[in-house]
Amino acid sequence: MDWGMKNRLSKIIKPKDGHTVMLAVDHGYFMGPTTGLEKLDQMVNPLIPYADVLMPTRGALRNYISPDTEIPICLRVSGGTSILNEKNLLHEGIIVSIEDAIRLNVSAVAFSILVGQPFERDTLLGFTQIIDDANRYNIPVLAVTAVGRGLGKDAKYLSLASRMAAELGASIVKTYFCPNFEKVVDTCPVPIVIAGGKKIPEKDAIQMAYDALQAGAIGVDMGRNIFQSSDPVSMIKAVNAVVHKKYSPKEAYDLFKSKKK
Ligand code: 5RP
């Protein structure tokens, strides 16, 4: 692996412990003004000190994030459908050129693939195109893996999607936590971070992060379970403590409650 790729990866995965807290705030690319992100800067700026990486769209970056920020950026580069087009949701292609990602000085790019839908081929070909583009400039690609409706979030399908993403060239895979998550981790040759998914109670989201780490995930790429929390700053501190400080779920939840105003 070349120096540039290693250097960028070290911005995403913290060398001190091999873990990462990624803050996903890219939802606007298909959900518009998502609850909690209506004024994205006001939500995100107080969270940045407790995140290792920020995952926005290019529009969010240019309009809401100060260019003097020190947080590494993992830029969302896939899209093409909105939440209103349920049948085709995640039928995504490349929405940002690699040149623009370079102009934005990103440390990684993120692309969603959807396995188990008739249009899976389109997302996989777009994904490999961005891998080739990104490889030319030593930019790591994070694959966001989803499986078709009806297949369920289970280890069988998520390990298939995660392994495919790695075999196609991803440097990091983002997938959902599920029962028997060890299987997903053990059969994927690149590091895995978990998505948060829809908002659930803070206690459960902290437990999920802990269980994922125990199963071998290197961290989280969490959005709604942080910024839709009743206290987003306390929540990201609690998740950070699980990921980087080996807090138990109880210790982290106590931390969340004690910080909550
Ligand atoms: C869609 C995504 C989201 O845009 C986002 O990153 C998910 O974060 P969360 O589920 O934690 O809110 O990846 O596929």
Q: Judge whether residue 115 has pLDDT over 70.
A: yes
Alpha-carbon distances, residue 168 vs 129, 141, 164, 205 (angstroms): 10, 11, 6, 30
**8 Å CB contact between 189 and 166:** yes
The Å distance, Cα 215 to ligand 1 centre, comes to: 21
From the alpha carbon of 196, which atom of ligand 1 is closest? 11
CA dist 70 and 258 (Å) reads 28
Helix ranges, 71-180 (H)? 98-103, 120-136, 155-167
Q: Tell me, in angstroms, the distance from the centre of ligand 1 to residue 17's CA.
A: 24
Nearest ligand 1 atom to alpha carbon 30: 4
Q: Which of 206, 218, 197, 205 is nearest to 242 (CA)?
A: 206
Question: Residue whose CA is closest, atom 6 of ligand 1?
Answer: 24
DSSP assigned state of 105: T
- Nearest-atom number in ligand 1 for the CA of 24 is 6
Q: What is the pTM of this model?
A: 0.96
Structural tokens at position 84:
């209103």
Residue 150 predicted with pLDDT over 80 = no
Active site residues: 174
pLDDT at residue number 5: 97
**pLDDT at residue 261 tops 70:** no
Q: Best of 20, 22, 25, 27 to mutate for ligand 1, by most ligand atoms within 8 A of CB?
A: 27
Inform me whether the pLDDT recorded for 88 exceeds 90.
no
Round the average pLDDT of the chain to a whole number and report it: 96
Domain ranges of the chain: 3-259
The minimum-distance atom of ligand 1 relative to the CA of 26 is: 4
Ligand 1 center to residue 222 CA distance, Å? Answer: 7
- Chain centroid to CA 19: 13
pLDDT tens by residue, 117-136: 989 999 999 999 999 999 99
CATH class of segment(s) 3-259: alpha beta
pLDDT of residue 153: 84
Report the pocket of ligand 1 as residue ranges, CB < 6 Å. Answer: 24, 26-27, 55, 112, 144, 146, 195-197, 222-225
Q: Give me ligand 1 centre to Cα 225, in Å.
A: 10
The pLDDT score that the predictor gives to residue 147 is: 84
Lookup: tokens for 27: 């939802």
Q: What is the pLDDT of residues 11-56, one digit of tens each?
A: 999 999 999 999 999 999 999 999 999 999 999 999 999 999 999 9
